[in-house]
Structure 1
Amino acid sequence: MHEKSEKLIPLHRHNKGQLSYVEGGIAYITVESLTYIVPARHYFWIPQGMPHILRIGYKATVLRSLYFYSHDDTRDPFYNRLGIYPASELVIQMINYTERWDGKHVDNTDPNFEFLVALKKILPEKSRKSLPIVLPATNNEQMQDIIDYLEKNIGKRHTLTSISKQFNIGERSLSRLFQANLKISFLQFLKTIRMIKAIEMILKTSKPINEIAFAVGYSSINSFSDTFRGFLHARPSDFRKL
C-alpha cells in the first residue's frame, strides 16, 4: 500500500509482518504505553500479531507499506521485534519499486514474488541499530500535568529543581515519579520531547536550525546538534537535506 495522507488508524493487528517506509513527513506508532517516532527516510518493522496504533501526523507524509508472510520469522530475531531504522538507498529503491503493485496480493506464483522475498531477507542485515526515539505515556494525573507543562513550555530552561518548585514536589520525589510512571529519568524524558519537537519543526517548517534549537530549549547550537545526532545518527542540517 502506497499512500499520502494524514490519518489515525486505531488499535489493530495484522496476521503478517509489516514493513513501512516513511518517505516524507512523520509517523507515530503506539504500542501499549509507548509511542515510537518515525521520521522521514526511516522505515519500521511491526511483527505479526502485535497490537498497535498508527498515526500519520503530517499531511505531506508518504507511507509505503508491505505485508509479509510470517512462517519463517523465527530465522532472525529482527522479525519478532518492533524496530525503526534509517533507510539505506538500496532499501528505499526496492520499496519504491513495489509501488507498481499497489494494492495487489503478490503470491508465490507471481514473478515478482522473489523480488519481495529478497527484500525481506536483507532487512536484518540493513537494520543493525534501532532508533531510540520512544516517548512513554502514563495515566497518572499528576504526571500528566507535568508532561503537559513541559510540552507547552518546551523552549524554556527546565531542571529537576525548577520543575520541583513549579509543582511543589521534592526533587527526589519528582525523580521517583518519572522512574515509576515513565521508566526513564526526568532529563531523558525532557531530551526526548525536545528532539521530537525539533524533528517536527525541521520537517514542517523552513526555520533555520539555530532558531529550532532555541525554540526547543537549547542555548548552544553545538549541544543541540550533538543531542540530535545521538537520536538520529545525523546532524540536523544533514537530516534536513535528506
Structure 2
Amino acid sequence: MGLIAALPDIDNRPDSVFVMHERSEKLIPLHTHKKGQLSYVEGGLAYITTESKTYVVPARHYFWIPPGIVHELKMGISATVLRSLYYYATDDSKHEFYQRLGIYPASELLIQMIKYTERWDERHVDWKDDNFEFLVALKNMLPTLNQTSLPVILPNTDHLQMQAIMQYLEKHLDQKLTIADISKHFAMSERSLSRLFQTELHISFLQYVKTLRMITAIEMIVKTQKPISAIAYEVGYTNAGAFSDAFYDFTMLRPSDLRSH
C-alpha cells in the first residue's frame, strides 16, 4: 500500500498501533496525524521538515514525532527502509519524551524489537490482538533509552539576507569560517551578524557552522563512496581524527560505523 496511501488510515482507530515498514525514496508531503510516530531509519537517510526546522536522521537512528506536528518526510536514497509505528496517544502525558520531536541512536535491542513488528506490516494492532503487549512495552521503554535528542537539526528561515549567508556558508564549507570573515564579506558588524543568527535561527553562528558541517558529512558518507578523510577535508576539517571525534560527539557513531550500516 505504501505510506502515502496509508496516511488517511493511520488515525482511523485511535487506540491502536498502525505498523508500516517501507523501502522508499518518496517525498511524503506535509501532513499530520493524531498518533505519535516512532520510526527507525535503516540503510540510508531521512529528512523531517517542519515549519521552522529540518531534521536529518542517519541510518541506525530513530525518531519520535508527537501527535499534531505538521511535517514533511523524505527518504534520502532508495536503499532507505523506514520502519514506522504510529502509536495511540492516550498515555502520552505520562512522560515528556512523548511531547517533543527528537532523534536518537538506536540500541541493538530496539532495532530487533522494531524489526519484529514487521509481522504486523500495514495493519492496525490493538488490545484484541495477540502480543499487543509487545508493542505497549516497546513504547513504554522509549523514555528510558535516551533522554537527549541529537542536535542534527538545521533551522529554516524566510529572511532573505539570512538565506544568502546560509548559502554562502554551504558553498565554502571546506574553508575556515569565522564570524569576523563572514561579517566582513556581508558588510556587517560581528555583533549584527551574531544577533541575526540568534534572532532568525535561534542558534549561534558557531553552532550553526558545526551543525552544517556534520549534516553535510552525514549526507556524503551515506550517499557517496568518498574516503572518510576526503569527506573530513570537504567539510572543513584538516585532521581526520578531529573530524571523527566531532562526528561521534554529534551522532554517537564513528563515520565508519554509519557507512557500514
What CA deviation, in whole Å up to 9, does each residue of 1:101-152 have, x standing for no partner?
1101112111031111111111111122211111111111011011111112
Counterpart of 1:154?
173
**How many Å separate the matches in 2 of 1:236 and 1:61?**
18
**What residue ranges of structure 2 are gaps of 5+ in the alignment?**
1-19
> Residue 62 of structure 2 aligns to which amino acid in structure 1?
Y
Residue 130 (structure 2) pairs with residue 130 (structure 1): no
What is aligned with 1:39?
58
2:140 is matched with which residue? Answer: 121
Say if 2:92 is the partner of 1:73. yes
1:234 is the counterpart of 2:253? yes
**1:60 matched residue in structure 2:** 79
Residue 192 of structure 2 corresponds to residue 173 of structure 1? yes
Q: TM-score, normalised by structure 1?
A: 0.95
Equivalent residue, structure 1, for 2:228: 209
Looking at structure 2, the residues matched to 81 and 174 of structure 1 have their Cα atoms a distance apart, in angstroms, of: 30
Which letter does structure 2 place at the counterpart of 1:91? L
Equivalences, count = 242
Residues in 2 aligned to 1:89 and 1:222: alpha-carbon distance in whole angstroms:
26
Give the letter aligned to residue 151 of structure 1: E
**Which runs of at least 4 in structure 1 moved beyond 2 Å after TM superposition?**
237-242
Cross-structure match for 2:205: 186
Deviation track 1:170-191 (CA, whole Å, cap 9, x = no partner) reads: 2221111111111111111111
TM-score, length basis structure 2: 0.88
Give the Cα separation in 1 of the matches to 2:224 and 2:21. Answer: 24
Tell me which residue corresponds to 2:14. none
> SS of the residue aligned with 2:124?
coil
Deviation sequence 1:61-117 (CA, Å, 0-9, x none): 110111111111111111111111111111100111111211011121110311111
Structure 1 runs not aligned, ≥5 long: none
Q: Share of identical aligned residues, percent?
A: 64
Alignment pair present for 1:29 and 2:79: no
Is the contact between residue 151 and residue 211 of structure 2 (CA under 8 Å) also seen in structure 1?
Answer: no
* 2:234 maps to 1:225: no
Query: 1:105 aligns to what SS in structure 2?
Result: strand
**Aligned residue identity for 2:58:** P
Question: Which whole-Å CA distance do the structure 1 matches of 2:142 and 2:194 have between them?
Answer: 39
Separation in structure 2 between the aligned mates of residue 21 and residue 237 of structure 1, nearest angstrom: 20
1:152-179 Cα offsets, whole Å, 9 max, x none, are 2221222112212222222221111111
Say if 1:195 and 1:228, in contact at 8 Å, map to a contact too. yes
Instruction: Report if aligned partners of 2:39, 2:83 keep a CA contact under 8 Å in 1.
Output: yes
